[in-house]
Amino acid sequence: MTYRTIGTRGPRVSAIGLGCMRMSFGDRPIGTRDDMIAVIRAAVERGVTFFDTAEVYGPFTNEELVGEALEPFRDEVVIATKFGFRHESGVGPTPAAGLDSRPEQIRRVAEASLKRLRVDAIDLFYQHRVDPDVPIEDVAGTVGDLVAEGKVKHFGLSEASADTIRRAHAVHPVTAVQSEYSMWWRSPEQEIIPTLEELGIGFVPFSPLGKGFLTGTIDENTTFDSSDIRSRTPRFAPEMRRANLALVDRIREIASARGATPAQIALSWLLAQKPWIVPIPGTRRLERLDENNAAADIELTDGDLRIIGAALDAIPIEGDRYPPDMNRMTDR
């Protein structure tokens, strides 16, 4: 595993992190809690030092899982978690309940996450989605206070616009921005990446493998469980998948020429964009963990990048990346 620094002020972490959400949230789990703890600990043994979770995943159960799994390695790893969703009585935070980044709520979430993660300080604390009802200056100021109190080390934003990033950064330094970015969602290249480069902020792409599509293991006949968000995502409708497979076919050709897998080419392409980009592919299988990690050792040549760039420019991607209810929560 190779390592890189998240922005100019962030922690040094493994070039590829591990997104832990689907180990206990999002669709039907594969394996038991003990199985997932074993995968997380195997990741540490393989050199992974950056792990991503959130209070809403579960809710709460994913933080508890990550906290238990990483407790023996606390001084060796960086854990990111998130706040920002409203809590429903007796249920906890859910996307359906809406957003809540009021200062008092941020503090409540921080205290609870510290306990679930079994840590003295949260390494990286993201606002999960921008709350239009709370000025971002108030959010940044509250997290800044938590940093001053030693309860949080770094402040992050997720799916935030360039303007929001600048406003937050003016109040308290933003260490990292987490947003979707991959070969089939390149919107951050327009405004987000130039803004981050200017301000010295790191970028943490989630869904770097296009929710699995860029691995080459999904086709128009693949079915998804009703608990899987892909079952209601426009981009995963059969007719959209049929059109988008043209990109996967091109990636597969490039991967074959390099003796790699499509997933490895997709991840190595992300790593080649900027030295401060750290993708967090999620997996629940050791073989996929090893496959993803090996992408950090693939160095794409300028020729490789030109070929990939030409393919990306020539093949339009069909379908929205989110269902309508989730699109509404994206800061524009």
Tens of pLDDT, residues 241-286: 999 999 999 999 999 999 999 999 999 999 999 999 999 999 999 9
The encoded tokens of residue 58 equal: 């579960």
Whether the CA torsion 10, 41, 262, 264 is positive or negative: it is positive
How distant is the alpha carbon of residue 54 from its chain centre?
11
Q: Has residue 311 got a pLDDT over 80?
A: yes
**71: number of Cβ within 10 Å:** 11
Backbone angles phi, psi at 205, to 5 degrees: -75, 125
Of the candidates 180, 185, 203, the one whose C-alpha atom is nearest the C-alpha of residue 273 is 203
**21: number of Cβ within 10 Å:** 18
The pLDDT of residue 89: 87
Please report, for the chain, the start and end positions of each structural domain, with discontinuous segments joined by +.
3-210+273-298
Give the mean model confidence (pLDDT) for residues 207-227: 94
Residue 70 to residue 284: CA distance in whole angstroms: 16
Crossing angle (nearest 10°) for helices 302-314 and 238-258: 160
The encoded tokens of residue 73 equal: 């390695």
**75: number of Cβ within 10 Å:** 5
List the alpha helices (DSSP H) in 118-261: 136-148, 162-171, 192-199, 238-258
* Ordered DSSP codes for 37-99: HHHHHHHHHTT--EEE--TTTTTTHHHHHHHHHHGGGGGG-EEEEEE-BPEETTTEE-GGG-B
| CATH number of the structural domain 3-210+273-298 | 3.20.20.100
How distant is the alpha carbon of residue 304 from its chain centre?
25
111-169 pLDDT per residue, tens = 999 999 999 999 999 999 999 999 999 999 999 999 999 999 999 999 999 999 999 99
What are the residue numbers of the active site? 57
If one compares 324 and 192, the residue with the highest pLDDT of the two is 192
Residue 14 to residue 44: CA distance in whole angstroms: 10
- Using a pLDDT cut of 90, give the percent of the chain over it: 92
The pLDDT of residue 131: 97
Averaged pLDDT score across all residues of the chain: 96
14-29 pLDDT per residue, tens = 999 999 999 998 887 7
Backbone angles phi, psi at 124, to 5 degrees: -145, 120
**235: number of Cβ within 10 Å:** 21
